[in-house]
């Protein structure tokens, strides 16, 4: 989840809200790739989640990375809650999940190098303190009462609110992990086309990256339980955003949506002020109950945008949010999938041609079916496996057209980062299918074996 935003002065007119989003428009030569991934930490001897403090802890990990690898500390109320270095940051999810938010980079080659460097650094510190990390979409065994609570004011407020608006908010916060990619757009029209493709085809990413078939120690009946959790979180800030496909979609229309997302907080002087359920529209008029008479800054607007959680969302860039956390090969495959579709115009047009016939009911049905059945989902006459094959082929063509070389010119493009997905399509197995087969096969129902065999 996001760290506090900064750098925005007072909002003096409504127009500044859309202008803030539009200020992210960049020429194609300046487009970059930002990859984020989360992972669960656990104590090797007990297989319990790591607490915030102690010898084997989140804090020990952050201190080790800071001291050995030159990361700068991020503090909240005197507590170490994150790290920054060269445009990247390491942050904490509510249950202690460790997240890398990568720097904006030009190619998947660079992105994968960054991920690998991060995992090497994490591994070196984790080995010394008796900790390991695993990439899954949902915690396979731990229950809510097992999870630690991180010392972040934002999370304290959100935890209090989640039970009022849905059935699975705290499950999302404390027991899920994702991998996502953040991409740029050139103009409002480019943003709209990319946003429509991102939402319509997000269920394909959910299916390809499905990796959470277990919850609280048993099979849960879904390939992506993480996706199921998001569907029961908070209807006012999640979902497939049907309005994005309507005439008149643009930055201003997204502003209207975001203004109707109930607030969580306002960040002032290092503290989170409770504004749960209150209205940013009232804030614009100086009528926010939490801060009567005060009007927002652009930093407040930027913070508020981070509290909307649709399957894809925009800030000054676009975030693809539909994939489960997973093994290292898929940490590079996720950005490759979307970059191939989004950063070549012919591929983007082909992706939209594939999805533009879906109506809102079909898009939502694909989202649900991907969560339950993964690559084996079927909605009407649409087979997810066939759809995924077309999507990966479009992405591969887009990556070939980009022709971003790697390994000092020895690798001609980025297409090999799709290999993990192509293998899933050939075998018919996403990660969840493999995990289920292991659980029912050589693990004999012993889910503790997942830690030894699937940790980084």
Buried b (16+ CB within 10 A) or exposed e, 389-412: bebbbbbbbbbeebebebeeeeee
Does residue 109 belong to any structural domain of this protein?
yes
pLDDT recorded at residue 349: 98
Does residue 269 belong to any structural domain of this protein?
no
Domain interval for residue 200: 15-261+308-451
Does residue 295 belong to any structural domain of this protein?
no
DSSP H or E segment with residue 353: helix 345-355
Q: Return the bridge partners of 35, or none.
A: 181
Q: What is the pTM of this model?
A: 0.96
Does residue 413 belong to any structural domain of this protein?
yes
Does residue 60 belong to any structural domain of this protein?
yes
Does residue 1 belong to any structural domain of this protein?
no
Does residue 318 belong to any structural domain of this protein?
yes
Does residue 274 belong to any structural domain of this protein?
no
Place of tokens 């060269």: 86
CATH at residue 412: 3.30.590.20
- The total domain count for the chain is 1
Averages of pLDDT over runs of 10 residues in the chain (456 residues) are 67 96 98 98 97 96 98 95 97 95 98 97 97 98 95 89 86 97 98 98 98 98 98 95 98 98 94 95 97 96 96 98 95 98 98 98 98 98 98 98 94 97 98 98 98 95
pLDDT recorded at residue 3: 59
pLDDT recorded at residue 218: 97
In this structure, what are the phi and psi dihedrals at residue 101, rounded to the nearest 5 degrees?
Answer: -105, 105
Residues 230-267: tens digit of each pLDDT? 999 999 999 999 999 999 999 999 999 999 999 999 99
């Amino acid at each position: 989840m996001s760290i506090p935003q900064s750098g925005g002065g007072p909002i003096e007119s409504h127009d500044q809200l859309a202008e803030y989003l539009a200020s992210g428009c960049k020429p194609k030569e300046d487009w970059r790739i930002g990859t984020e991934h989360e992972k669960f930490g656990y104590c090797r001897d007990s297989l319990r989640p790591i607490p915030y403090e102690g010898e084997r802890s989140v804090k020990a990990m952050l201190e080790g990375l800071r001291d050995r690898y030159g990361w700068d500390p991020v503090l909240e109320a005197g507590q170490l809650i994150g790290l920054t270095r060269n445009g990247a940051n390491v942050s904490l999810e509510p249950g202690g999940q460790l997240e890398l938010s990568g720097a904006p980079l030009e190619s998947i080659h660079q992105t994968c190098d960054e991920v690998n460097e991060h995992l090497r650094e994490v591994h070196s510190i984790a080995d010394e303190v008796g900790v390991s990390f695993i990439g899954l979409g949902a915690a396979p065994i731990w229950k809510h009462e097992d999870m630690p609570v991180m010392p972040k004011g934002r999370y304290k407020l959100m935890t209090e609110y989640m039970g009022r608006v849905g059935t699975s908010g705290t499950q999302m916060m404390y027991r899920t992990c994702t991998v996502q990619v953040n991409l740029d757009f050139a103009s409002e029209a480019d943003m709209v086309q990319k946003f429509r493709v991102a939402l319509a085809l997000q269920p394909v990413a959910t299916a390809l990256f499905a990796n959470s078939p277990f919850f609280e120690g048993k099979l849960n009946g879904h390939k992506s339980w993480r996706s199921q959790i998001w569907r029961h979180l908070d209807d006012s800030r999640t979902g497939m955003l049907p309005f994005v496909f309507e005439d008149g979609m643009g930055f201003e229309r997204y502003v209207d949506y975001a203004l109707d997302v109930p607030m969580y907080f306002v960040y002032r002087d290092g503290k989170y002020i409770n504004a749960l359920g209150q209205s940013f529209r009232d804030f614009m008029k100086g009528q926010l109950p939490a801060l009567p008479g005060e009007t927002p800054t652009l930093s407040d607007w930027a913070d508020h945008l981070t509290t909307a959680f649709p399957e894809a969302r925009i800030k000054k860039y676009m975030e693809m949010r539909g994939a489960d956390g997973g093994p290292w090969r898929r940490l590079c495959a996720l950005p490759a999938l979307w970059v191939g579709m989004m950063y070549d115009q012919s591929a983007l047009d082909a992706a939209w041609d594939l999805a533009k016939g879906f109506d809102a009911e079909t898009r939502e049905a694909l989202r649900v079916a991907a969560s339950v059945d993964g690559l084996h989902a079927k909605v009407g006459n649409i087979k997810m496996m066939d759809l995924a094959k077309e999507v990966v082929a479009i992405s591969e063509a887009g990556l070939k057209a980009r022709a971003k070389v790697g390994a000092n010119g020895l690798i001609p493009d980025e297409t090999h980062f799709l290999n993990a997905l192509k293998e899933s399509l050939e075998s018919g197995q996403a990660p969840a299918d493999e995990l289920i087969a292991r659980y029912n096969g050589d693990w004999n129902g012993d889910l503790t074996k997942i830690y030894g065999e699937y940790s980084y």
